[in-house]
Amino acid sequence: MEAAIITIMALLFLSFVALGVFVTVKAVKAAKRGVDRTIDQARRTVEDTTLRAKSFGQAGVTGELARLRLSLRTSMRATQEALHAGVGEDASLKESLDLFHRLSAHGLELDEDLKRLEREPDRAWVAGQLPELTARTERITSSADALRRAARDRALKFAEDDLSALSAQIDVEAGALRHWTTGPETMQEAPGAGPGTSQGNHRPSSSGNHRPTAAPGNAGPATGAEPSAITAPDPRRTAYPWEKSARPETTT
């Protein structure tokens, strides 16, 4: 019996140790990924700042190469963020994201070529390569911009359609809530017509025209020649705001 208890305790101890090691390894890996992301983001920020400074501060081949790299990186990053943000809500963007991944391979290759040319000592030869590099950059950035704008236009269209449908539903609900305004004469009531007056007790006026009959739920005490106002329900009749009041049809 004691041996069994010792064995169980040893197994529990080993299980807790294994669980602790597993949790520690996962935490270390997550921290490492966070550090790597932070380092990558800092590196990109430094590179973008350096390229921006070169494109504005230096003329000639160096400034042109920096401008091309900055334009390429800015366009590709904006498109990537737009597609990744929309693919969670719109599954149709998965194909667009696959196309962007293929385009990214060409963009990375071009960025590496531009980076190598920045270290090329023969500036005259690099200047001769600029027209072809500029054309490649414009083709890639144009394709990336087309994907990004199409994704945003699609999201805006869906949002507009949803808003239109919601506005139509709200208009219908608002009309249903204003059920007493269905006709131009429903706001006027016959003098002396109270909640207890039935439809058969209404008499025509001396002019021969029938006055409109007040809705049972909206009729109040008689006030002579003036129509009774639509008043709020008495708060003492309901204990809680979510309790339903009596329907007008049940009023006698």
Q: How confident is the model at residue 134 (pLDDT cuts 50, 70, 90)?
A: very high
- DSSP per residue, 117-166: HHT-S-HHHHHHHHHHHHHHHHHHHHHHHHHHHHHHHHHHHHHHHHHHHH
User: Would the pTM count as exceeding 0.85?
Assistant: no
pLDDT tens digits, 153-186: 998 998 899 999 999 999 999 989 988 876 555 4
